Amino acid sequence: MTTPIKFYQTGTFTVGNRLLTPEQRSVQSSEERSNALNSGHRACQGCGEALGARYVVDAAMRATHNQLIAANATGCLEVFSTPYPETSWQLPWIHSLFGNAAAVGTGIAAALKVKAQKNGTANNVRVIAQGGDGGTTDIGFGCLSGMFERNDDVLYICYDNEAYMNTGVQRSSATPMGARTATTMAVGAHPGAPAGQGKNLPQIAMAHEIPYVATATVADLRDLEAKVEKAMSIRGARYLHVLVPCPLGWGSASHDTIKLARLARETGLFPVFEAEHGEVTAVTQLRHPVPVQEYLKLQKRFAHLFGPKGDAQMLARIQADADRNIRRFKLLEQEA
């Protein structure tokens, strides 16, 4: 019998978290895991998206007893996992286009509903649709909003690495202000992505008043799995926004992926919360907010904000953004 150990973050620092009680363990620590996104794919070293997708899909597989179909948008996840004739997907999987994963998911869900009706069986097969931030916040936004509005029975997962990484790191509407990308260069009077632009898709999803919206990062994998399981226990349109650092696009060390995902949450820049029917129902609180510099300094995409010719004004704006998130989502732990 293992002694219960209290961990600040379960699933992150606990190797395979086999020291935890079985019900607290991650899907990945189970030998019966589905391995739905198999190894051998061609993601970069330290890819947050590969890690996030693996945990999300395996958790969804467990939640549905492997009765799961996935629709995928064009992007890194699709390209690195299916170089024909190989595939890393051990579940039925379809890629159609960059902008239509949500609608393809809708079509699959509709077909499953009719099939179950026709066969007189329960409609047990469930659908997820997934894409990066480009395929979600930009080109796929119309289809996603339509899927939300009709409350189609699809869980949509956005793996947000904050730019178009597959095409060579260009800005998306999820790129944070001040970040250097190939289309928001670190040159001129106001280098990097302009302030005051972009979309907050979790909040836009909430505005559709769908049953479930959640954010998560690849730093808190147990939390990510729990949110997937919760999402799969609900019928209707659901949205999960996962922050997945990209070493290539962010200019960060491959071994810093988890650290960066954690810092994004701990600075307040990426608030981690759940919302049901348009109302925030839970937040992951912070013990001590970390100054944004600690997060930004590890990434070359923000290098122009530091040093002798730095941009103190932009740093202050980013800090103000983090502070606003902390206030808005009540991220600071209340004193007992």
Partner 1 sequence: MRKQVEGSAAVAEAVALARPEVICAYPISPQTHIVEGLGERVKSGSLTPCEFINVESEFAAMSVAIGSSAAGARTYTATASQGLLFMAEAVYNASGLGLPIVMTVANRAIGAPINIWNDHSDSMSQRDCGWLQLFAETNQEALDLHIQAFKIAEELSMPVMVCMDGFILTHAYEGVDMPTQAEVDAFLPPYEPRQVLDPAEPVSIGAMVGPEAFMEVRYLAHAKQTMALERIPQIAAEFKQRFGRDSGGLVRPYRTEDAETIVVALGSVLGTIQDAVDEMRAAGVKIGVLGIQSFRPFPLAAVRAALQGAKRVVVLEKSFSVGLGGVVSTDVRLALSGLQLHGYTVVAGLGGRAISKASLVRTFTEATSDSLQSLTFMDLDWRIVNRQLEREAATRRSGPIAENLLRDVGSIASKVT
CB-CB contact of 286 with 266 (8 Å): yes
Count of residues that bind partner 1 according to CB under 8 A: 47
- CA 43/CA 81 separation, integer angstroms: 8
Cα–Cα distance measured from residue 101 to residue 113, given in angstroms and rounded to the nearest whole number: 18
Q: How far is the CB of 74 from partner 1 (least distance, A)?
A: 9
Q: Is residue 204 at the binding interface for partner 1, with CB under 8 A as the rule?
A: no
For residues 166 and 172, which CB has a smaller minimum distance to partner 1 in the complex? 166
What six digits make up the tokens of 261? 């995902």
Query: How far is CA 269 from each of CA 6, 168, 260, rounded to the nearest angstrom?
Result: 27, 24, 11
Residue number with CB closer to partner 1 (75 or 191) = 75
Which of residues 21, 45, 66, 281 is near partner 1 by CB under 8 A? 66
Between CA 215 and CA 241 the distance in angstroms is 5
From residue 129 to residue 168, the character string flagging contacts with partner 1 as x (rule: CB under 8 A) and all else as - is -------------xx-xx--xx------------------
Phi-psi region of 220 (alpha: psi -120 to 50; beta: other; left: phi over 0): beta
Q: Are 249 and 162 in contact (CB under 8 A)?
A: yes
Q: Does 68 help bind partner 1 (rule: CB under 8 A)?
A: yes
Give the C-alpha separation, 317 to 15, whole Å: 38
* Residues 72-131 within binding reach of partner 1 (CB under 8 A): 72, 78-79, 82-87, 89-97, 99-100, 103-115, 117-118, 125
**From the CB of 104, what's the least distance to partner 1, in Å?**
4
Given the rule CB under 8 A, which residues bind partner 1? 66-69, 71-72, 78-79, 82-87, 89-97, 99-100, 103-115, 117-118, 125, 142-143, 145-146, 149-150
